[in-house]
Structures are given as C-alpha cells and as structure tokens.
Amino acid sequence: MTNGITAYDKGEAPILKISGLDYYYGDFHALKSVSMDICRNSIVALIGPSGCGKSTLLKALDRMSDLIEGSRVSGEVLFNGENIFGAGVDITLLRKRIGMVFQHPNPFALSIADNIKFGPRVHGEKNRETLDSLVESSLRAVGLWDQLKDRLDKKATELQADEQQRLCIARLVAVEPEILLMDEPCSTLDPIATLSIEELMRELKKNYTIITVTHNMQQAARVSDYSGFMLMGELVEYSKTADIFSNPRDKRTDDYISGHYG
Amino acid sequence: MKQAVREAFISKILLLTALSSIGALTLITVFIFAEGLPVIFKTGFFDFIFGMKWKPSRGIFSIFPMIAGSFAVMAGAMLVSVPFALCCSIYLAEFAGRTTRAIVKPAIELLAGIPSVVYGFIGVTVLVPFIKNNIGGNGFSVLGCSIVLGIMVLPTITSISYDALRAVPDSYREGALALGATRWQAVKMAVVPAAGSGIIAAVILGMGRAIGETMAVIMIAGNSLIIPLSPLDPVRTLTSNIALEMGYASGMHRQALFATGVILFVIIMALNILATRVIKRAVR
Ligand SMILES: Nc1ncnc2c1ncn2[C@@H]1O[C@H](COP(=O)(O)OP(=O)(O)O)[C@@H](O)[C@H]1O
Ligand SMILES: [Mg+2]
C-alpha cells in the first residue's frame, strides 16, 4: 500500500524519518505503524477527525509521551539520522531541538522576559546580555517586539490569547530548535488572530520545520506544504497538500475532505 | 408550594446561623476593646506598646517585652517550619507517588489534631532538658518554643502550600518539560513561582497560628519578663501573659490583660487580612 511516505522532493535527506511507529496507551493501539518523512523547512499539516491520534503522534516526536503512565512505543523515528528512542538519547536536549506549542497558550506566570529566558536558563545560559538579546530577537521573530518592548516585566498571563500564543512560540525560538510541533495552535483564537499566526508560521518556515495539527481543512490548505490524513491511528494518506486536496488517492481521505465525517 | 415554604424556612435558618457567628465575633471584639482600651488610653498608646515595665502591683502596664517575645518565638517557629513545610509540600504535590502521598499527607495533617498541651508536655520532658544539657541555658527558651511551635504549624503551612501547588495547571509543567526542563527545573522555575502567592499566604497564616498559640508556649517558654537577646533566653509571649495572670488579676490589672488581648487581636487580624489579600491577588 502506498501512502506516500517519501513525499519530499528536494533531494535532501529528511529531517525526520518516521518508520513503523506504533503507540499504545495500555491496551489501546493509538498509532498503527505510522511511517512518514518530514523534509526540512516545510510545513506539514496533520488532519483527521478528533481522536484519530494526531496529538499522540506529535507527543511521540518530542517524547512528551514518555510522561504518560502505561504507554508503550515501538518503531523508529530518525531525527537527523539518529533514533530518538535510542539508548543514550538526552531527552532534555531532544526537547530543546524539537519544541512543542500547545493548543491552549500556556505562558508561565512569570514576566514576559522571564518566559523567554526560561528555556535558555534551563539549558544553562547565565549571561545577562545573552539572555536579554535573546528576549529581543525571539520577540522580533514572532512579531511581538514592537508592541511589548516597553512592558517586558509585565506578567505574561495578562496578555491577550494570541499574544500569549506568539509568546509561547517565541519561548521556543529562544532555544533555537530545529522542529516546531504545533498542536492546534489556533483553535482557541479568533479568525483574525488565526490568520496572523498562520502568517507567522509561513515566516518561521524559513528557519524551522513545522509539524502542525489542525482540524480546520482550510487552514491546512492555506499554510502547509504537505498534509497527512489520519484515521483511527493510521496515516491513511500523506502527500503534497495541493495533491491531497485536489486529488486524494484514498476513498477515506476523499470522504473526509469533502465533509462526509469529522 | 409547601416545598417552597420549607426551602425558604431552611435558608432563613442557615442565614441565621451564619449571622450568629458574625454576631459572636462582634460581641467578642466589642467586649475585648471595651475592657482593654481604657488602660491603653490611660497609659498612653506609645508607652503601653513600647514601654519596658509590666508591674501590676504598682499599676505599671507596658508590654514591649511580650511583643518582642511573641515575635521572637514566631520568627523562630517560621525558621524551623517554613523550609520543612515547603520541602514537604513540594515533595507531596510534585514528586510523591500515590501511595506515599496517601500515607504522608494524613500523617502531617494528624499533627494538627494533637492537643497543644501534649506538645507542651513533650517539650518540657524531652526538649527542655535536651537543650539544657547539650546547648546551654536552663532549657526554657525561645529555641525550645520555636521548635515546638514550628512542628505545630507545620500542617497549616504544608497543607495550604500543597493546595496552592496542586492548583497550578498541568500546562505549566508540560510547557516547562517541553522546553527540555528536568522535573526539578519545571517545579522550581515554573510551578513554585505560579503558586507563590498561595505559599506566602500559607506562611502568613502559619505566623498567625504561631503567635496565637498559648498552652505549649507557657509550658516551654520560661515566661520571664525580659526581652530575649539569645535563642537560649526565656521569654513571655502576649498569649502566655494573659493566660498566666488572668486567674488572679482584678481591676486595672485585669483590664491591662484585656489590653494585651487587644494588641494580640490586632496582630492576628492584620495577618489574616494580609493573607486573604495575597490570595485574592493570586486569583486575579
Ligand atoms: N493519556 C491517554 N490515555 C489513554 N488514551 C488516550 C490518552 N490520550 C489520548 N488517548 C486516546 O488516544 C486516541 C488518540 O488521541 P489524540 O492523539 O489526542 O487524538 P487527536 O489529537 O487526533 O484528537 C483517542 O482515542 C484518545 O481517547
Ligand atoms: Mg488533539
């Protein structure tokens, strides 16, 4: 069966190579032999009805899934050629290089500046000037610098929802990750804020690889280069976004896209 | 219809009970102030609070040594209690497994149920001789009081801080771990600051309890009317002053004890109001 796992065409090695990934919550088989290649500096959208395993897949990729009691994983995920499940992998370093943006913006109850400095501090950065310049560059990267530069010591939890979400992205940018995982980053935002985050994602694509989950088909079509359709733990189809929307190969994909379920 | 009448009746009764507790508070407040204020005015507010001499037989009433004593003992209790309570609550809220938590948490809460006279008794029979023989002084001391009071307020501070930590949403922990923080870093840098106001409120309420405690303190403090200059000095607190002399005091002396109560009342009210405000600010 072909689900287009080699959906990259730039001729360079994929940044992530997922092969035969199975995931279990206890007895529940949540990911069924998922295989896909993710190529550098692209945006990949995961779509599918709720409960199909999109979040589970994202969480497996930065091993946040380790935290879930009774869960089990098998298969291989090569990140720049190295298996993330291998022995001797430094999880804190892995999570630095593969960052996660959550569905609900979750800035810490610290100042805006301290939110940005959090990651670098965790990874041992102590130099004040370095930290301060990271605050500026990270906020610039997400387009928040101009509006926040005069109130960097304000509590981050008092910002508006979309500012909070941008700040959470800036917080990741500060640790210079390679991949950004975004789990429905816009689902709690209004349409205008959503568009602005999408714009930001396209901007960030120049420096990062983004894997995003969305249940909004238009959004997948608007922002992503590649799309994967998941159903009941299976990656049904994965290919260029333009292809999957105009010309789905699998009947189930077709049904979903044309709105028959979900 | 009948149902509605009954409901209304029940809610009236409940309201009445609620009001009666406010009534009791008002009565007590009025009574203490009415009895106590005249002495304070007669002595002069400043002299009453900052004067050094408490000589009931000569009609001299100043309570500074006891204020100092109360605060010394309270500060000592906090030194003993806060680090311990913080470690306990952080461990229980963030690291302990379900079984450990199920055993340790009730055990700590049980400490609150032990009558204070029992604490005093253990203090006198074990702690006081220990201090006397191993550290110095005659054993009845600020140090002894601090240790015993520290243990007594441990459950208050631990359980309120624990609740504050548990109230921090998991999204903070996840956010920190997803940035590559270790669990300890996540707790130290994201969870504890988020619970900060709750923890401060816990400490303030603990201070209130420490300053209000009487029985255990009387038994261990030595009760001398001096300003304690070393942890090994004996002290007399505001509470023990009232309890020790109430039995035989009359006239102006009795009123002066009420006046001591007024000061105590004000301190404890202030601590409680402070704690509530800190908590309110956290919620906002
Ligand atoms: N912690 C968990 N324990 C057990 N089952 C879970 C857990 N998290 C998710 N699941 C189950 O795994 C399936 C996939 O969930 P999820 O990845 O969150 O779906 P999606 O993000 O696509 O909506 C669902 O059926 C869900 O009920
Ligand atoms: Mg999900």
Q: B11 vs A183, B1, B14, B261, CA distance in Å?
A: 48, 15, 5, 36
Q: How far is the CA of B168 from the centre of ligand 2 (A)?
A: 22
Q: B244 vs B56, B234, B238, B239, CA distance in Å?
A: 13, 15, 10, 9
For the beta sheet containing A234-240, the strands, ordered from the edge strand earlier in sequence to the opposite edge, are A98-101, A179-183, A209-213, A43-47, A226-231, A234-240
CA-based nearest distance B171→chain A, Å: 6
Q: What is the number of the ligand 1 atom nearest to the C-alpha of A28?
A: 5
Q: Is the CB of A25 under 6 A from ligand 1?
A: yes
Averaged over B1-30, what is the pLDDT? 91
What is the Cα–Cα distance from A203 to A170, expressed in whole angstroms? 13
A82: tokens are 């190295």
Report the pLDDT value the prediction gives residue A7, as an integer from 0 to 100: 45
Q: Is the CB of A30 under 6 A from ligand 1?
A: yes
CA-based nearest distance B193→chain A, Å: 7
| A168/B180 touch (CB, cutoff 8 Å), yes or no | no
Averaged over B27-45, what is the pLDDT? 93
pLDDT at A216 over 90: no
B192 touches chain A (CB under 8 A): no
- Indicate the residue of A67, A106, A123 with minimum beta-carbon distance to B171: A106
Q: Is the CB of A72 under 6 A from ligand 1?
A: no
Side chain identity at residue B185, one-letter code: Q
Q: How confident is the model at residue A260 (pLDDT cuts 50, 70, 90)?
A: low
B138 touches chain A (CB under 8 A): no
Q: Is the CB of A102 under 6 A from ligand 1?
A: no
Q: What is the DSSP letter of A67?
A: G
For residue range B257-270, list pLDDT tens digits in order. 999 999 999 999 99
Report the pLDDT value the prediction gives residue A261, as an integer from 0 to 100: 54
pLDDT at B277 over 70: yes
% of residues, chain B, pLDDT over 90: 88
Instruction: List domains and CATH numbers for chain A.
Output: 41-66+90-257 (3.40.50.300)
Structurally, what CATH architecture does the domain formed by B54-283 represent? Orthogonal Bundle (1.10)
pLDDT at A1 over 50: no
What pTM, to 2 d.p., does this model score? 0.86
What is the Cα–Cα distance from B249 to B240, expressed in whole angstroms? 14
Q: Is the CB of A54 under 6 A from ligand 1?
A: yes
Domain range annotation of chain B:
54-283
| Burial group, residue B254, by CB count within 10 angstroms (0-12, 13-18, 19+) | middle
Ion ligand 2 neighbours, Cβ < 5 Å: A 55
Report the pLDDT value the prediction gives residue A17, as an integer from 0 to 100: 94
Q: How confident is the model at residue A5 (pLDDT cuts 50, 70, 90)?
A: very low
Q: How confident is the model at residue A11 (pLDDT cuts 50, 70, 90)?
A: low
CA-based nearest distance A30→chain B, Å: 21
Return phi, psi of residue A111, to 5°.
-70, 165
Report the pLDDT value the prediction gives residue A239, as an integer from 0 to 100: 93
* CA-based max dimension of chain B: 75
A155 touches chain B (CB under 8 A): no
Return phi, psi of residue A150, to 5°.
-90, -5
